[in-house]
Chains A and B, each alone.
Chain A
Amino acid sequence: SYELTQPLSVSVALGQTARITCGGDNIGNKNVHWYQQKSGQAPVVIIYRDNNRPSGIPERFSGSNSGNTATLTIRRAQAGDEADYYCQVWGSSTEVFGGGTQLTVL
């Protein structure tokens, strides 16, 4: 079955750029979606189909996808960006989530 690998945690200084990776076999050939989950809340999609932002999601959030790695980039990180982030793809007849990355804003 298809697997997605994310770092357990990423730290970023306030106002700097955070990058969260999502690794998978030839993931560049798949549509990758990213979700933000704040404590006690349901996940919210922040990037869909590699690099598209739903309405209401700040331009500070962007995505890219190539080869074996997809990347979520958060520019000008804010305290309110502290959350867990998950990538998701359609694998081999199943949906697949990455293991999640906890983002800490220092």
Chain B
Amino acid sequence: QVTLKESGPALVKPTQTLTLTCTFSAFSLDTSEMRVSWIRQPPGEALEWLARIDWDNEKFYSTSLKTRLSISKDTSKNQVVLTMTNMDPVDTATYYCARMSPDSGSYFDYWGQGTLVTVSS
């Protein structure tokens, strides 16, 4: 059964760098057509896609946030790591990682439970 779980700090200070880890099971990011994305959701607001990493290590970033984001994978650990620099209170959100279905179509078929990150001094 495919599972994903996000981990990282619940509280970060403004200007700090956030590092989040997505640990997954029952699939490998070495397998062709596998992709994992990060998505966030501020309290009471809409989903916002952040970044994606593919099986071939190709990476994609949100246009508005790309200067602050970095995504990487460790296939030996079944993990995807997202870093976001220069955190601000407006970055307070629940952060999700999600797998994209390996069939053609680019939809998120499995999601983690999400982790709430609060940015406050």
Contact yes or no, A48 B114, CB < 8 A:
no
Which one, A14-22, A65-73, A75-83, A91-99, is touching chain B? A91-99
- Is B101 touching A48 in the complex (CB atoms < 8 A)? yes
Closest beta carbon of chain B to A18's beta carbon, Å = 19
Distance in angstroms from A84 CB to nearest chain B CB is: 8
> A64–B111 Cα gap in the complex (Å)?
24
Do A97 and B107 have beta carbons less than 8 Å apart?
no
A48 touches B105 (CB 8 A): yes
Alpha-carbon gap, A99 to B114, bound state (A) = 19
Task: Give the distance in Å from the alpha carbon of A1 to the alpha carbon of B60 in the complex.
Answer: 14
**Contact-size category for A:** 20 to 34
Does B108 sit at the interface, judged by CB under 8 A?
yes
A28 beta carbon closer than 8 Å to chain B: no
Task: Give A91 Cβ to nearest chain B Cβ, in Å.
Answer: 9
- Interface flags for A43-57 (1: CB within 8 Å of B; 0: not) read 111001100001000
The 9 closest A-B pairs by CB, nearest first: A33-B107, A95-B49, A42-B111, A48-B107, A100-B46, A97-B47, A49-B105, A90-B106, A99-B46
Ordered by A's residue number, 24 sampled pairs between the chains whose C-beta atoms are within 8 Å are A31-B105, A31-B106, A33-B108, A35-B47, A37-B47, A42-B96, A42-B111, A42-B114, A43-B111, A48-B101, A48-B105, A48-B107, A48-B109, A49-B105, A86-B46, A88-B47, A88-B107, A90-B106, A94-B61, A94-B62, A94-B63, A95-B49, A95-B52, A97-B48
B contact residues vs A (CB 8 Å cutoff): 37, 39, 46-49, 52, 60-64, 96, 101, 105-109, 111-114
